[in-house]
Amino acid sequence: MVFSAIAACGAFLLAPSPFSQKKPAKKPTQKPAVAKPIVLGTKQLPGDFGKIGTTYTIGKDLPLNFTMTGLEYKLDRFIGDNGSGIEGWMPRKDEKLLVVKYTVQNPNNRDARLWYGTLNLIGITADGENINHLNRPIIGSGKKYQEVQLKPAQKVALTAVLRVPAEGELPKFMVQHRFEPQAAVIRYDLTGKVAKLKPEFSEDGYTAKESLAGGFGNWIPFSAYDLKIESFQPTTDPIPSLRSEPAHTQWIAKVTLKGLADQYNRFWYGNLNLTVKTEDGDLLQPRVQDRILRMSTDQPFDGQIPVGEEMSFRIVIDLPNKIQPKELRLGFKRPDENFRQHIISLNP
């Protein structure tokens, strides 16, 4: 009995006290933070998301008020100032033009210089490619660039042009103060906000056709002048000063040109991208005689078309005998540059 009591007492003493405190739970060890790599140039510039017709201030040191007033797609040509004179910009075969209209106003209490280098006008493609404007932006309805000192509160309207992809819409546009590259920019979402191409240039208003329908007497835009074909006929009296291949017939296209710009306005046979489609469906790249002839004499012409003047010429083409052309396709050509052809039906 005594032994049992002593054993029971010992067991009581050895048992843990119900009042003893539990050890605090061990906190989980935090993993050391992984340092992120420093990548320069990935931070987007601060700025506003612009709306057409809303005025925004660009720059801090000498700010300017900018308002986008309208945009449109074009497919023919834009005539403006390139710094040396008046030039015509044409879209290449995989391009169309974006014409941008905007105003700039001086909000300062002192004069502000406005010149072609003041603002960057940048189109941004779906692939992230940046496209800068081509011309020196022109003020008002004229074609000549002019630098101005804007008086306080003075506002001017300007126009600029960009070559953009022929397919689809240009999704984004950005305006930046060139001399304050860290200042806030204006970003525009252009989706559905640009005036469409004319129906004869596009099926949906955004994707430009690869070739265009023409006709006798219709003006075809070249870089610095317009050209129209008056007629296209074989001759029964070959021009003796021109050498033709055996079993070939000379065909003569009578053309009229109207000068519009004083830069790159040379007219010569090398400007002509000319193809003939036969009634069998074959496309021929005929030999174009290496001389443009005047209308009244067989004297060759290789020169400039004066601005505002019209001049007429003959283009002589050699085609195999018994070939009956169905279409004459004519367009502007420069080395290593492809432009659209205008298709003229010869059997309407």
Mark whether 147 and 218 lie in a shared domain.
no
Mark whether 159 and 241 lie in a shared domain.
no
Contacts for 216 with CB less than 8 Å, ≥ 6 apart: 228, 229, 230, 231, 232, 344
Mark whether 252 and 289 lie in a shared domain.
yes
Mark whether 285 and 317 lie in a shared domain.
yes
Domain assignment present for residue 261? The answer is: yes
Mark whether 224 and 163 lie in a shared domain.
no
Mark whether 77 and 146 lie in a shared domain.
yes
Residue whose structure tokens are 């308002």 = 67
Nearest to 346 by CA among 273, 272, 285, 278: 278
Mark whether 51 and 123 lie in a shared domain.
yes
Determine the Cα–Cα distance for residues 113 and 106; give it in Å rounded to an integer: 9
Determine the Cα–Cα distance for residues 108 and 151; give it in Å rounded to an integer: 8
Counted domains in the chain: 2
pLDDT band at 184 (very low <50, low <70, confident <90, very high): confident
pLDDT of 42 reads 39
Mark whether 215 and 176 lie in a shared domain.
no
Domain boundary among 189, 223, 253: 189
Determine the Cα–Cα distance for residues 124 and 122; give it in Å rounded to an integer: 6
Domain boundary among 156, 189, 222: 189
- Per-residue pLDDT reduced to its tens digit, 88-141: 999 999 999 999 999 999 999 999 999 999 999 999 999 999 999 999 999 998
Which range marks the domain in which residue 75 is found?
Answer: 47-189
First to last CA, the chain: 133
Specify whether the backbone of 84 is left (phi greater than 0), alpha (psi in -120 to 50) or beta: alpha
Provide mean pLDDT across the span 46-51.
75
Domain assignment present for residue 245? The answer is: yes
Determine the Cα–Cα distance for residues 228 and 330; give it in Å rounded to an integer: 10
Domain assignment present for residue 30? The answer is: no
Mark whether 241 and 114 lie in a shared domain.
no
Mark whether 276 and 331 lie in a shared domain.
yes
Domain boundary among 154, 189, 224: 189
Provide mean pLDDT across the span 51-80.
95
Q: State the pTM of this model.
A: 0.83
Residue 3 has pLDDT above 50, yes or no: no
Determine the Cα–Cα distance for residues 267 and 132; give it in Å rounded to an integer: 29
Mark whether 177 and 237 lie in a shared domain.
no
What tokens were used for 13? 């003493």
- Per-residue pLDDT reduced to its tens digit, 291-334: 899 999 999 999 999 999 999 999 999 999 988 999 999 999 98
Domain assignment present for residue 243? The answer is: yes
What CATH number did the domain enclosing 99 receive?
A: 2.60.40.1240
How far are the Cα atoms of 3, 6, 8, 15, 118 from residue 11, in angstroms, in the given order?
A: 12, 9, 5, 6, 95
Domain assignment present for residue 281? The answer is: yes
Provide mean pLDDT across the span 52-64.
92
- Per-residue pLDDT reduced to its tens digit, 35-46: 444 333 434 555
